[in-house]
Amino acid sequence: MKEENEIYLLVSRLPNRGFIEHLKQNDSYSGFFDNGRKKSTGMGDYLKGRGVTEVAVCGVAADFCVYYTANDALDLGFKSSIIERASKPIDVKRYESVKADFQLKGGSII
C-alpha cells in the first residue's frame, strides 16, 4: 500500500541509464539536500558513483527548485548548468538575481 507521502516515478529502463523508482517526500527545493542542508537526498553520491561529472537542470521554478539544485550541484563539485529555455521562474526579478549569483560561482546558463 502506498503511503500519502510517497512518490513513485515511472522511468524507462534504457541500457546504461540510471533511474530512480521510488522517492519519499522531502521538504526541499534542491534535488541534493533538504531545505536546511542537514540531510542529503543521496543524489550526489548516486551520480558520482556512476561517474557523472556534469549536471544540467531545468524546470519550474527556475528561481527556486532549479536554482537550488544547480547551485548544490556546484557545491558538490559537479559542472552545473541551468537550461534556461526549458525553465520558468515564479519571480523574474528574483531569477535574475539568483542567476547572476549562480554564474559568479561558476555555473553556466545554456
Can you give the pLDDT at residue 36? 86
- What number is the average pLDDT over the span 34-61? 90
Contacts of 48 (CB under 8 A, 6+ apart): 76
- What is this structure's pTM? 0.78
> How many CB atoms sit inside 10 A of residue 41's CB?
19
Extents of the domains making up the chain: 6-109
CB 28 within 8 A of CB 37: no
Q: Who wins on pLDDT, 77 or 24?
A: 77
> Would you mind telling me the total number of residues written for the chain in this entry?
110
Q: Does domain 6-109 have CATH number 3.40.50.850?
A: yes
Q: Look at residue 2 in the predicted model and tell me its pLDDT.
A: 47
Q: What is the pLDDT of residues 3-36, one digit of tens each?
A: 444 444 444 455 555 555 555 565 689 999 988 8
